[in-house]
Amino acid sequence: MIDPLQLLAFLPAAIALNLTPGADMMFCLGQGLRAGARPAVAASAGVAAGVMVHVALAGIGVGAAVRALPWLFDAIRWAGVAYLLWLAGAALRHPLRTGAPLPQGSARAFRQGLVVNLTNPKVILFVLAFVPQFVTPADGGVLGQFLILGTLLAAGGFVVNGIVGIFAGGLGRRLAGSARVARTLNYLSAGIFGALALRLALMERT
């Protein structure tokens, strides 16, 4: 069981983190602009699932290996860079149609959100630095405490990123009636994915 006082300290910190703009939020924003609200929410769910995977890995000690092994950190990082560049290229190869965002299945958007989150090694390092502050080993069940706190963190992120994606989806649908605006949204989505790839490429381990 988690100490109630620890939980009360964790919740506002987690909410503040979820409200801070970051790579996951920008990815969901790009998905909303390009594909609409429903795929953006699915992408947010994929991101949340990725957070839970990172939390579980941190809880069983894999996060320490990522921190200790530079080659493993870099392998994950460059896989993420390649994937984000592929998404940017896909946005340019498949332009938006005038009048509506590009149709995209929710399952595909979920997978994209999951992969984008999992290939960001900073997430597991962040979880490894943040969550243990609120875990009490003396209470036992360290992995269980990680999972409970991680669930709260992922759920908050799902709500916040989902709202951002829904807003972006509505905005994209309203603006896509003009061919010029549709092209602009297309380039904007590709630019977001490309910027995230650049951010990941320039990321430092510490």
Indicate whether 136 pLDDT > 90.
no
pLDDT for 154 equals 94
Contact 193, 31 (CB under 8 A): no
Average pLDDT of the segment spanning 29-38: 86
Contact 180, 58 (CB under 8 A): no
pLDDT mean across residues, the chain? 81
- The rounded percent of the chain whose pLDDT value lies above 90 is 21
pLDDT for 200 equals 79
What is the distance between the alpha carbons of residues 204 and 59, in angstroms, rounded to a whole number?
23
Place of tokens 């490894």: 128
36's tokens? 């609409």
CA-based Rg of the chain, rounded to a whole angstrom? 18
Average pLDDT of the segment spanning 160-166: 94
Indicate whether 175 pLDDT > 80.
no
Count of CB atoms within 10 A of residue 82's CB?
A: 14
Q: Is 174 exposed, middle or buried (0-12, 13-18, 19+ CB in 10 A)?
A: exposed
pLDDT of 141-153, one tens digit each? Answer: 778 888 888 999 9
Say if pTM beats, i.e. exceeds, 0.85.
Answer: no
DSSP single-letter state for residue 105: -
* Domain extents in the chain: 23-201
pLDDT-derived band at 95 (thresholds 50, 70, 90) equals: low
Amino acid residing at 41: V
pLDDT-derived band at 178 (thresholds 50, 70, 90) equals: low
Amino acid residing at 64: A
Residues 6+ apart with CB under 8 A from 2: 134, 136, 139, 145, 148, 149
Least confident of 16-25, 44-53, 61-70, 76-85: 61-70
Average pLDDT of the segment spanning 30-34: 86
Indicate whether 102 pLDDT > 60.
no
What is the distance between the alpha carbons of residues 62 and 127, in angstroms, rounded to a whole number?
11
Contact 58, 131 (CB under 8 A): yes
Q: Is 140 left (phi over 0), alpha (psi -120 to 50) or beta?
A: left
**Alpha-carbon distances of 125 from 19, 43, 98, 151, rounded to whole Å:** 19, 22, 42, 17
pLDDT of 67-83, one tens digit each? Answer: 777 887 788 888 888 88
pLDDT-derived band at 98 (thresholds 50, 70, 90) equals: very low
More reliable by pLDDT, 173 or 130: 130
In 3D, which of 34, 81, 20, 7 has the Cα closest to residue 187? 34
